[in-house]
Amino acid sequence: MNQSITHYSNLVNLLRYRALSQAEQIAYRFLQDGETEKAAITYHELDRKARAIAVQLKSLTHSGSTAVIIYPYESGLEFIGAFMGCLYAGIIAVPCHPPMNRHAYYDLQLRLASSGAKVILTEKSLLSKLQNQLTTPDLNWFVTDDLSLETASNWTHPDISPDTLAFLQYTSGSTGQPKGVMITHDCIMHNQQMLKLAFGHNETSVGVGWLPLFHDMGLIGKVIQALYVGRPSIFMSPVAFIQKPIRWLQAISQYKATTSGAPNFAFDLLCRHVTPEQRDDLDLSSWDVAFSGAEPIRVETMNRFYEFFSPCGFRREAFYPCYGMAEATLLISGGQKTELPIIKYVNEAALEENKVITTNQEKKGYRVMVGCGQAWLDEQIIIVDPDTLNRRTENQVGEIWVSGLGLGKGYWNDPEKTANTFHAYTKDTAEGPFLRTGDLGFLQGGELFITGRLYDVLLFWGFNHYPQHIEETVENSHPAFRKNCSAAIGVEIEGENKLVIVQEVERTYRQSIVIDDLIELVRWAVFDKHFVNLYAFVLIKTGSIPKTSSGKIQRHLCKTKYLDGSLDMISEWHSPQNAATDLTSILKRYFNPKTHLRRYFTLARGKIRRLFL
C-alpha cells in the first residue's frame, strides 16, 4: 500500500482518500474500560459520519464560524466524528475537555467567549449538565447521538485552501488564561510530515494511547497522525488509565503497538503501580517509540522504567524524548528513532549565570539533563537573550525561538499577543519571524536541552533558580510527597521575595503525615542544594494541585490560590514571624550545630516509624 500522501493539502481530502482506498480498514478502536473493545470505526464509516454531521451543522451556522466540541472521555470515537464533521462543513472546530468541576466550567465559559462559538456539539449524557451550567446566550446544541446518516449523501465539499483555519487549539499555559492558537490545514499537514519522519512511522505502525483527544498530544499526535499514516490507533479514556495504569501497557501488549507515549509522570506512575506478576504477562517488544514530552523528562524515571520492564521486552532505545507546544501545532524537536536519548551533566553554578558547562559523566555540582532532539524538515531552532533579543552562542542559556511552516498562525482575535509571540525578530541579525516559546534552553551539536520556563525563573539573593529543580529536591526528600505534583513559587513579603513550596501528599500518607516532623528535612534539602531559605511549606490533598491539560504545573495559578487561601490544604508551615531573614542570619542558622542535630533526630524518628508501619 502506498503511504505517500504529501500531495493532500487538507484533512478533508485525506480522509476522503482513505475512505475510498482503505474503506473497510479499521481507523480507530476504543477500549471502553481500558480493556474491553467497545467499538471500532472504519475509514468509510468515519467519512460517512463526518458528512452527515457537516450537513446538519451547516444548517445551524455558516462556513468560517466556530463550533465547540465537548464529549465525555469515554466517547472517543464520537469526538473524532464530530471533529471531522466540523472540518467537512468548513467550520472552525474548538475542541474542549468535558468539565468536571466549577473551575472547568469557568474555563469553558472563557473559551466560548474567546472563540465566539454559538454551536456546541455533544451527546445526550452531557447535554443537561452543560445547559444548566453555561450562561452564554443563544447557544445552538447539536446532539450527535440522534444523528441520521442518511443525510450524508447531501454533503458538498467545502471550499478549503491550505490557509483555511481547521481548528483553534486552546492553551491555558501557566497563567490559566486560555488563548486560541489558529491552526490551518497547512500547519497540520506539515507538522504531520514531521511527526511521521521523526517517529519513523510506516505501513506496520500501530498506535495506542490514553491522552485526552481534545489536547494537542492526543488529537494531533495520535488521532490525526494515525489518519496521516493510514494505520489504526487504539484509544482508552485517561480516567481508565489513572484508575488502573497497567491497562495502558496491556493494550500495547495486546495490539502489538509500535508507538505510544505520555508525559514523564505516566511512566513514573507505572513503575510504582505495576507488580512483577502483572509485568510478567506483558510483551512490550513491539514498542519502539515511547515518546515522552509536555513536562521535564527525568533520567531517573527512564532508568527505573527500563530496569523494571526490560524483562518483558522493553528496550532502552525506545525512549523518545521530544519537545513541542500548542503554538507550534505540536512537534518542535525529536531525536533519532533508533538511538539512545542524549544525556548531559550540566554545571549548576554556571547554569544560574546562563552559561553551559557539560560533562558526559555524573559529577558533584552537575545536574543531569535529557536532550529533546533536533529540528526537522525546514524548521530552525535558535537560542536568544530574552532581554536584548540578540542570538546566543551554543554554550549559553536563552529563550528558545522557532521558525518553520508547521507553526500556528497566531492567537485568535488577539493581534497584540500574536505579534509579541509569533512575529519575533532578532535584534543583532534581524532574522525572523520566529515563535517565542517562553521556554529556556540551550543547543549543543544541534541537540536541544530545556532548562525551564522564562517567566517561572525564581530570583533569591541575586541568584536565578529553576522551580522544577527545587520541586524535584523536595519530592525526593520524603516518600510521602507525590512526584511531579509540587510547585515552587516566589511571593513578595514586606518587599522581599520568599520561597513557598506547595506539595501534594501521597494518599497512603494522608492520615499519618505530620508537617512539623518533616519541615527540617525539607528546609535543609532546599538550602543544601539550592542555597535558598524556605519561607512556607504547604501540604495539599492528592490530585488538587493546578495543572494544565497536558500535566504541566500551573505555578501562576498555584500562587494565586496560595495567596487567596483557596488551596485544598492539609497542613501548612510558616517561618516564624520574628525569624531573621537576612543572608547572614540564615547562614548562621543553617550552619548552627543545633540545626543539624534537629535534622538528624528527625531522620531517626522517620526511620523508627517506618520500621513499625
Q: Are residues 323 and 350 in the same domain?
A: yes
Within a domain: residue 557? yes
Span 237-276, pLDDT tens digits: 998 998 899 999 999 999 999 999 998 888 988 998 899 9
Q: Are residues 300 and 437 in the same domain?
A: yes
Q: Tell me how far the alpha carbon of residue 82 is from its chain's centroid.
A: 23
Q: Are residues 562 and 548 in the same domain?
A: yes
Within a domain: residue 328? yes
> Is residue 122 a contact partner of residue 71, using CB atoms and an 8 Å limit?
yes
The CATH number assigned to the domain holding 135 equals: 3.40.50.12780
Span 212-233, pLDDT tens digits: 998 888 999 999 999 999 999 9
Q: Are residues 544 and 439 in the same domain?
A: no
- Kindly tell me if the per-residue pLDDT of 298 is higher than 50: yes
Q: Are residues 297 and 341 in the same domain?
A: yes
pTM summary value = 0.80
The CATH number assigned to the domain holding 508 equals: 3.30.300.30
Locate 79 and state its grid cell. 469526538
pLDDT for 231 equals: 96
Within a domain: residue 173? yes
- Full DSSP string of 300-320: HHHHHHHHHHGGGT--GGGEE
Q: What is the distance between the alpha carbons of residues 130 and 123, in angstroms, rounded to a whole number? A: 10
Mean of the per-residue pLDDT values for the chain? Answer: 89
pLDDT for 161 equals: 93
- Decide which of 453, 482, 504 is a domain's last residue: 453
Q: Are residues 52 and 138 in the same domain?
A: yes
Q: Are residues 355 and 435 in the same domain?
A: yes
- Kindly tell me if the per-residue pLDDT of 175 is higher than 60: no
Helices (DSSP H) in 495-613: which residue ranges? 515-530, 555-564, 583-590, 593-612
Q: Are residues 506 and 544 in the same domain?
A: yes
- Structural domain of residue 32, as residue ranges? 11-243
- Decide which of 453, 477, 501 is a domain's last residue: 453
Within a domain: residue 599? yes
Please, which residues have CB within 8 angstroms of residue 194's CB and are 6 or more apart in sequence?
331, 376, 377, 379, 406
pLDDT for 459 equals: 74
Within a domain: residue 1? no
Within a domain: residue 3? no
* Pair type for strands 26-31 and 233-236: parallel
3-state SS assignment for residue 112: helix
- Full DSSP string of 246-309: HHHHHHHHHHT-SEEEE-HHHHHHHHHH--HHHHTT---TT--EEEE-SS---HHHHHHHHHHH
The total number of structural domains that make up the chain: 3
Better-scored residue on pLDDT, 340 or 469:
340
Better-scored residue on pLDDT, 329 or 494:
329
Span 537-566, pLDDT tens digits: 999 999 999 987 767 888 988 998 999 899
pLDDT for 592 equals: 60
> Is residue 434 a contact partner of residue 447, using CB atoms and an 8 Å limit?
no
Average pLDDT over residues 575-593: 63
Q: Are residues 112 and 163 in the same domain?
A: yes
Better-scored residue on pLDDT, 28 or 145:
28
pLDDT band (50, 70, 90) for residue 176 = low
Q: Are residues 438 and 463 in the same domain?
A: no
Q: Are residues 374 and 465 in the same domain?
A: no
Worst-scoring range by mean pLDDT, 324-328, 512-516, 551-555, 604-608?
604-608
Q: What angle do CA 590, 594, 600 make, to 5 degrees?
A: 90
Span 178-212, pLDDT tens digits: 799 999 999 999 999 999 999 999 999 999 999 99
Average pLDDT over residues 478-492: 91
Span 399-456, pLDDT tens digits: 999 999 999 999 999 999 999 999 999 999 999 999 999 999 999 999 999 988 777 7
Percent pLDDT > 70 in the chain is 90
Within a domain: residue 495? yes
Q: Are residues 464 and 413 in the same domain?
A: no
